[in-house]
Amino acid sequence: MKLKLIVLLLIFAEVIFSQQGDLQNRFMLAQSYEQIGEFVKAKSIYEDLYKAQPNNFTFFQSLNKCYLQLKEYNNSSFLIQQKLSVEKDNVSLVGLLGTTFYLNGEEKKAFQLWDEFLENKKSDVIAFRVLANSAIELRAFDKAIDLLQRAKVISNKEFYFGYDLANLYALKMDYKKSAGEFISILKADEKQFPGVEVRIFTYVTRNEALNAFINVFEDEQPERFPVIGNILAKLYSANRQYEKAFSLYKTLDKKGQYRGTEIFNFAMKLSAEKEYAFASEVFSFLLKNYPASPFQHQIKLSLAKNSEAKLEIETADSSQLWKSFPRKKYSPEKLYEESLSIYKEIAEKNPFSELGVEAMFHTGYLYGEKIGDAKASEEYFNKIISNFLFSNFYAEACLEMAAIKLQKGNVDEASSFYDKILANPRTSEEQKNKAKFWKARIAFFQGNFTESNKLLRQLVSVSADNMSNDAMELSFLLTSAFNDSLTLVKFAEGDFALLVNNFSKAEKTFSSLVKTEQTPFLIKQLAELRMIESDISSDRYQEALDQIDSLLKREEKNIFADKANLLAAKIYQYGLRNPVKAIEEYQNLLLRFPESLYLDEAREAINKLRNKIS
């Protein structure tokens, strides 16, 4: 008897599990139909499933979703109301029914349903939130705001619903009310500052939003409420109102709130945004007012770096910065006296730290690149190379030393410094690429074209910068004219002459290549481009423009015509300072060469020039 009972139970269980498996398979089939847009077929299966298991909420939800997709709002309404008759307090069902009414064009009826339900749930903030979420899904933002405002009053916690309200106001582009909600949150709980700050700076990417937030925060006594003042200062900074930001930071600092930390962060931000003059002013303030700061050396180093960068902008000959082969120009040491003094002090007081190494590097850089004292420059770089193998500035010091040796014509010594970079395990991929590229150029200068080609092929993930373009140009030249080694040797001589600023020799070499009929067309075309670049380096702008004009008008297309066009635009922009003609030439580049590597550079230049003109 007992055995028979067990057998019957097993058979019953098998039938139940079989039915469950069948339902699951049919549900998956309905989902498949739904995914490909066959909602009628899906609906039929969902209706059968729901009849089989009316208490299965997944089946119910899927069937209702299908009704809505088919715009069968009456069926949806009947389905939900049937379930509501059993679960009268289920707020999710009330939200679904309201959604059906709204989609059926019965907005008033939907909102009335929600309001009547909430009359009996006046203290249930969760119910308000659920229905507000339903309104948000329908993009009925005004109703969502109404429900959340009522919920905020009930909860008596400003920040509990404030974030949602601020977001909704921002979506409606009512930035003043959005800012007002954030003010309420901060006044209710200052610990909400990090969350509020993150949210605000996702909204103020638009000028109208930024200005609206500034206006609201200015009216809230920012000097009395540090968290409000802190955000306002950052809003000023985002709006490039640096004077106002600095003034407010100093006011807050006097109240003992930040002890210089926020001012330091502000200065670092200015430096990152290349506002070197203002950054220098802020670092000077920190140095004067916080002499005992544990970051004193970092502040000094930052001051020196920003002062150096500011001087570079003020004293730089803008007609040199854009040139392919700029002439070397140096300034008196006295001009960099303040920065040099700080660097040397930091290097002396931090002889074994990365901070000291960085100071040494900048000292060597100033002597080499700005003052022209190669002996003093080499002294500092050699000290880094000899004593700080694992420093972040080791590879940079090697690059600078190699550049000095190249300028003197010592290609073998330069190559040895590039080898040091490649042998160092701490060298970045970018630094390795630079070393390989310059070794490839040195091999090219020496007539070792096989080695040059081999090194160029080793370059990894080279970014779209000048080095990338130059590497492609050299590789193209070697590949196309590899068999004519004598002509390549002559071209390499001209290229090296340009590198060391021997423009008269370069011009003669390239002119000879252009005039010689036997010169392969690719070398001839690139030699012509080099003649243009040599004229530019020697400030012979009209001669360069005449050559470019001739090159662009010829029926025979020059492979480097897009670069020549770019150079014409730069001559007008920097050399002749004619922004209107510069824009015209950049636009010509976009039209003539739609697949050029220089399109992004041209578009950026057009935008900058237009902003200056307007």
Side chain identity at residue 59, one-letter code: F
Give CB contacts under 8 A, 24+ apart, made by 183-189. 183/216, 183/217, 183/220, 183/228, 184/158, 184/159, 185/158, 185/159, 186/225, 186/227, 186/228, 186/231, 187/158, 187/225, 187/228, 188/157, 188/158, 188/159, 188/162, 189/158, 189/159
- For tokens 């809230």, the residue is 220
For the chain, the structural domain boundaries read 316-427, 550-614
Given a cut of 50, the residues of the chain with pLDDT beneath it are 1-3, 5-19, 464
- 233-261 confidence digits (pLDDT tens): 999 999 999 999 999 999 998 877 667 88
| CA dist list (Å): 341 to 171, 334, 427 | 53, 11, 29
Residues in the chain, total: 614
Q: How many CA atoms within 13 Å lie on the side-chain side of 520?
A: 17
* Predicted confidence (pLDDT) per residue in 371-401, tens digit: 999 999 999 999 999 999 999 999 999 999 9
Fold exhibited by the domain 316-427:
1.25.40
